[in-house]
Amino acid sequence: MIEARTFDVAIVGGGPAGATAANDLARLGYDVLLLDRAGRIKPCGGAIPPRLIDEFEIPDELLVARISSARMVSPTDSQVDMPIEGGFVGMVDRDVFDEWLRQRAARSGAERQTGTFKELLRDRDGMATLVCDRRDADGATQMISIRARAVIGADGALSAIARQCIPGADNIRYVFAYHEIVRSPEQGGIPFDGTRCDVIYRGKLSPDFYSWIFPHGATTSIGTGSACKGFSLRGSVSELRQTLGLDQAATIRREGAPIPLEPLKRWDNGQDVVLAGDAAGVVAPASGEGIYYAMACGRLTADAVHKFLLTGDARQLKNARKRFMRLHGGVFWILGLMQRYWYTNDSRRERFVAICRDRDVQQLTWDAYMNKALVRARPLSHVRIFFKNIAHLTGLARAS
């Protein structure tokens, strides 16, 4: 085993959370290692809100499409269009977007290495030592050990860091997502619009989540998700493509991965390890949106590690979760309730899509998405939506 030098912070995982944390800490002057596996692209719709673009200084050239509306499709094929008034949803390709984030971290001073985390040990002085398989430029692999004053686990929903270091991390629940990236068809002739995201709520295609068609300019993501064991995600996507006339579109690649359903109860080990991104479970319920929350989590985690390194007080690491839940816990709670109720069966999905036809619902939905917060500025709209929800829940309102 080759012993590498000691870093202030070792970050395992170079997705949006890990790369954001690496960039922030490197800019503060810390000696940062960013360890990432090569060649992996997470299955993801690739949607990012304007707030992310502004907050994290994302250049326009990374946007492959600007979405101006969403179409909600019910089990009986009832369709509700939700235009975005005065805004847009940016679409990014995760292979290009994630690599740009890693390169930015490197430009800020983080050291990038390609490899796979294996085990976290302790030196005689108690410092964390990461055992990793590192791959060099020629593709050769060698085992190395890396010492670090602090460790950030940003290595995805099945985080090895979390399972080794954080109590309860192996109890997290998942939705398994699968999508196929295809060459975007010509517009016209089939129900496809390169400026619109389609979200399909149909139990046959997803018994407990949803399916989607997300345009990315020259390519399109067609996917579905489910937590039901034995459900054929590939079969569902194949059927969706055939139904919409997209089965003849050239398939570029296929990807699948678990997506966490809720934040972990604990993100740190009380000593020197803290989680970020999917490893911490910060994917929004109901929508499955994760990029913004991963990057926001990465930033809060970096700040907690910064304060820990300044003070030596491990209690600072708990502030990453506390601050995240203070900012976003309310949204996650509401979305979790929505998913548990409305995604249960096709009858409820039908009513859910019908609710989306309401202008108040559409306006508040987009406001909340753009601002990443519960919108309190329209109390009368909230009252109207409350009574409309009661009507749908009790069956007093029609589903169409």
Look at residue 398 in the predicted model and tell me its pLDDT. 53
Look at residue 108 in the predicted model and tell me its pLDDT. 98
Look at residue 187 in the predicted model and tell me its pLDDT. 65
Please answer whether residues 91 and 214 qualify as being in contact, where contact means their C-beta atoms are separated by less than 8 angstroms.
Answer: yes
Look at residue 380 in the predicted model and tell me its pLDDT. 45
Residue 264 amino acid letter: L
Look at residue 86 in the predicted model and tell me its pLDDT. 79
Look at residue 366 in the predicted model and tell me its pLDDT. 81
Look at residue 385 in the predicted model and tell me its pLDDT. 45
Contacts of 230 (CB under 8 A, 6+ apart): none
* Region of residue 233 (phi > 0: left; psi between -120 and 50: alpha; otherwise: beta): alpha
Question: Do the bridges between strand 32-36 and strand 89-91 make them parallel or antiparallel, or are there none, so unpaired?
Answer: unpaired
Look at residue 338 in the predicted model and tell me its pLDDT. 83
Look at residue 386 in the predicted model and tell me its pLDDT. 45
Q: pTM, whole model, 2 decimals?
A: 0.90
Number of H helices, E strands in the chain: 10, 16
Residue 329: CB atoms within 10 A of its CB come to 13
To 10 degrees, what angle do helices 379-394 and 359-371 make?
A: 120
Look at residue 172 in the predicted model and tell me its pLDDT. 83
Residue 347: helix, strand or coil by DSSP? helix
Look at residue 245 in the predicted model and tell me its pLDDT. 86
Look at residue 383 in the predicted model and tell me its pLDDT. 42
* Closest listed residue to residue 95, CA positions, set 38, 177, 53: 38
> Which segments of the chain have a pLDDT < 70?
1, 187-190, 373-400
pLDDT tens-place string over residues 51-106: 999 999 999 999 999 999 999 999 999 999 999 887 889 999 999 999 999 999 99
pLDDT tens-place string over residues 306-339: 999 999 999 999 999 999 999 999 888 888 888 8
Please answer whether residues 162 and 275 qualify as being in contact, where contact means their C-beta atoms are separated by less than 8 angstroms.
Answer: yes
Tokens 């971290």 correspond to: 105
Residue 198: helix, strand or coil by DSSP? strand
On the 0-12 / 13-18 / 19+ scale of CB atoms within 10 A, 57 is: exposed
* Closest listed residue to residue 331, CA positions, set 374, 289, 369: 374
Give the integer Cα–Cα distance in Å for 170 and 298: 21
Please answer whether residues 298 and 19 qualify as being in contact, where contact means their C-beta atoms are separated by less than 8 angstroms.
Answer: yes
